[in-house]
A and B are shown apart, each in its own frame.
Chain A
């Protein structure tokens, strides 16, 4: 019984947010956003873990012979991974266009939208 895995998830989320806020490069910033999201994977999987359990796949496992971890969070984490990958792709496409139109990917140098 421990809370360490949950704390790891919190740490990953916060460290990603810190990187995102202080980033000097938009590609790095999109990466930091993915780090934030990794925090949610760790939290979901940690929530679903069961002591001494195995994967919930019964291809070579007699039902009821061993405890299995929570399959629902695994499905949620899979959804989360797909969402994360697609958001990252779309944001990187936008960064690519920013690099073309503004000639920079440093957020400090983007000054079109103010006030």
Chain B
């Protein structure tokens, strides 16, 4: 099919879909409306279980099963990337070359690195209290490590980043989430039931029952997964070469 025909098809399909969706938008409740039954119930239940951040309560308590699926998608995608970006028979590994980095960049990166890692850990730890949580903090912590790549070079990054350990950490964190869920079944309530631990004092680090634990498991899973994911792409860019020689 040539480009012209394809464009015409896209325009026809897009116009039809646009007409349908615009008509649907006109039937929507007005923007900013006051009717949110599920949302109101979620806020009520979150406060009842002393979780200050309602979104954390939705993610790790009320709809924790969705989060399990979400975490598994990340886990599966990382495993898939490991498989897809493996070193094939016609490829070899070359030692990464040391690179010169401008001194101000180096100083800045090394100064910011501990701050960024700490910020990531803080965001994970306060997931049930303030905006943020395992997903957000995990990404911050994982990318923070890569400041070493910018500030020094790939070899420096590789020294503090044994990918194998992060892979194991990824899998163990995912297992931890599952085991916390299974504990509910073993206790005779339900899978991922938040009834095992006391709900604690509102607005403190230990409040919310199992929410902080699940949140921490997610934080570790995401941090490890992002490190592994970036490592696979960086390997392709820096280390893996085709055998015929490039």
A and B touch in the complex (CB under 8 A): yes
B-side interface size class? 35 or more
- Residues of chain B within 8 A (CB-CB) of A4 are 31
Contact yes or no, A93 B14, CB < 8 A: no
A86 touches which of B34, B46, B77 (Cβ 8 Å): B77
In the bound assembly, the distance between CA atoms of A14 and B74 in angstroms comes to 26
Q: Is the interface of B mostly helix, strand, loop or mixed?
A: helix
In the bound complex, residues from chain A placing their C-beta under 8 Å from that of B47 are 58, 63
* Cβ < 8 Å to A, chain B residues 77-125: 77-78, 80-81, 84-85
CB distance from A5 to the nearest CB of B (A): 5
CB neighbours (8 Å) of A49 from chain B are: 31-32
Docked complex Cα distance between A67 and B32 (Å): 11
Q: How far is the CA of A46 from the CA of B36 in the complex (A)?
A: 12
B18 close to A10 (CB less than 8 A): yes
Checking A6, A59, A83, A94 against B70 with a beta-carbon cut-off of 8 angstroms, the contacting residue is A83
The interface residues of chain A lying within 8 Å CB-to-CB of B63 are 72, 75
Candidates B32, B54, B236; contact of A71 at CB < 8 Å: B54
Taking a contact as CB atoms under 8 Å apart, the answer to whether B59 and A78 are in contact is: yes
Q: Within the complex, which residue of A63, A74, A81, A82 is in contact with B55, where a contact is CB–CB below 8 Å? A: A74
Measured in the bound complex, the distance between the Cα atoms of B35 and A49 in whole Å is 10
How many chain A residues touch the partner (CB < 8 A)? 53
CB distance from A100 to the nearest CB of B (A): 7
Find out whether the CB atom of A51 lies under 8 angstroms from the CB atom of B34: yes
Q: Is the interface of A mostly helix, strand, loop or mixed?
A: helix
A55, chain B: closest CB distance, angstroms? 7
Give CA–CA (A23, B58) in the complex, Å.
Answer: 38
CB of A1 within 8 A of CB of B67, answer no
Assuming A71-B46, A72-B63, A87-B77, what are 8 further A-B pairs, CB within 8 angstroms?
A3-B28, A3-B30, A48-B39, A51-B34, A56-B46, A56-B55, A58-B46, A67-B34
Which A residues lie at the B interface, using CB under 8 A?
1-7, 10, 13-14, 17-18, 21-22, 46-52, 55-59, 63, 67-76, 78-79, 81-83, 86-87, 89-90, 92-94, 96-97, 100, 108
